[in-house]
Amino acid sequence: MKVLLLFGLVAFALADSTRFEGEKVFRLKPVLDEHVTLIRDLAKSIEVDFWKPETAELVTIDIDVDIRVPALYLDMVNTILQQSDIEHEVLIEDLQAAVDGQSDSGPTPRAHSYTNYNSWDKVYSWINSIATSNSLISKQVIGNTYEGRPMTVLKLGKRSDSTKPAIFLDCGIHAREWISPAFCQWFVKEALSTYGSDSQMTSLLNEMDVFVLPVFNIDGYDFTHKSNRMWRKTRSRKSGSSCIGADPNRNFNAGWCSMGASNNPCSDTFCGYSPESEIEVKNVADFIRRNKSVIKAYLTIHSYSQLLLFPYSYTYELAADHSELMKVAVGASNALRSLYGTKYTSGPGATTIYPAAGGSDDWAYDLGVKYSYTFELRDTGRYGFLLPESQIKPTCEETMLAVKYIAAYVQKNLY
């Protein structure tokens, strides 16, 4: 009986997690329209996971296309690539080995660490302990996720009787972009530990507050740790579809679902059933609306591609503040590069990455938050979403410089 039960649990655990045995990640470089057509046709006939761009429809000539190919289709894909002579390379030889290299499955579970990818349970207890560690920080729950996990915003700043202008920073909109929550944790630690010694951080936290949401899409993040490392969306369900989740960064009310998003619930860029249908999106949007008069900047952290994006992504039209947004982005990218030479590209989302409606940056901007930026952190595809833990520290250190550059600019240019 016991043996049977144990066997059942093991079988369940195995069946419940997605494995990537023998899967590879390819980079394709289409330079002809035929190449684009071929990649799109391939996506229709077999199941490939687009890492960059997010879907087949967004493939164009002269961009790098990173795709994950299941073992079953490798021979076929190799043959097609040879025959069509699309330039290509293998970015990840053995995806399961790369995933295993990051998983916390040793005999003794690790403690919370700023240089590891922490599971949600660890981030959750970290949030609760750091929030009571220092008078510069406090927390507030802004609602629960679909699966009922509390979404906690940390408020950093010297206490003051009058309301201070603020910056809102979120991480982990997309579940598999693990470097993003790692950055929010790093930011909180750095802010607390350099207040009083770093003159810029001291001045920032004296004059402004910073709201930090360490993990936006908690259900998805937890799922990437426990079941499927490559999950992107939320985990909401709706009767009538067996597919789970929507893309939170397509679910904001900004040109919702008009371009670069899918109305197919099974797609990785599903825009949801209506704007803010995802409770996580609604919770954040409500919080920002409630604090609209104080929030002067909205920063959201994604990966990967090394980009600093700003509105718009739902239209090719330039934002009214385009030249100022561009100037600040270039300054921030230069600051970032000064540490380790990491190169970032700056520009409006639609032309710099791809047109995609329903994003949080465009929504915040149209609400009136002028300094609205999306970061796409390291790398440019060597590891993609599987950025090694050894790169957490340098990535966070350089990103701090860019975030502090933007914060300092905002502080000097309050509106």
Quick one: which of 122, 229, 302, 404 contacts ligand 0X9 (CB under 6 A)?
302
3-class secondary structure, 65: strand
- Report the helix count and the strand count for the chain, using DSSP H and E: 13, 12
* 362 scored as a contact of ligand 0X9 (CB under 6 A): yes
- φ and ψ of 216, to 5 deg: -80, -55
The strand pairing partners of 24, in sequence order, are 69
Beta strands 137-144; 345-348: pairing state: unpaired
CB–CB of 192/148 below 8 Å? no
Query: Smaller CB distance to ligand 0X9: residue 361 or 379?
Result: 361
Choose the one of Zn ion, ligand 0X9, none that binds residue 222, judging by a C-beta under 5 to 8 angstroms depending on kind: none
Q: Which does 359 bind (CB under 5 to 8 A by kind): ligand 0X9, Zn ion, none?
A: ligand 0X9
Q: CA separation (Å) from 380 to 27, 66, 112, 239, 385?
A: 11, 10, 27, 38, 10
Peptide bond preceding 221 in cis form (omega within 30 of 0) = no
Do 260 and 355 touch, CB atoms closer than 8 A? yes
Instruction: Tell the smallest beta-carbon distance from residue 40 to ligand 0X9 (Å).
Output: 18
By rule CB under 6 A, what count of residues binds ligand 0X9?
15
Catalytic one of 177, 280, 376, 398: 376
User: Does the protein bind Zn ion through residue 174 (CB under 5 A)?
Assistant: yes
Query: How is residue 114 annotated by DSSP?
Result: T
Q: Is 288 in the site for ligand 0X9 (CB under 6 A)?
A: no
CB atoms within 10 A of CB 104: 13
Position among 48, 167, 279, 309 found at the interface with ligand 0X9 (CB under 6 A): 309
Is the link from the previous residue into 53 a cis peptide, with omega within 30 of 0? yes
| Contact status: 24 vs Zn ion (CB under 5 A) | no
Site for Zn ion contains 233 (CB under 5 A): no
Residues 216-245 that bind ligand 0X9 (CB under 6 A): none
What string marks each residue from 37 to 56 as x (binds ligand 0X9 by CB under 6 A) or -? -----------------x--
376 given a catalytic annotation = yes
Could you give the residue numbers annotated as active site?
A: 376
Contact residues for Zn ion (CB under 5 A)? 174, 177, 302
Contact residues for ligand 0X9 (CB under 6 A)? 54, 174, 177, 249, 302, 309, 313, 349, 353, 356, 359, 361-362, 374, 376
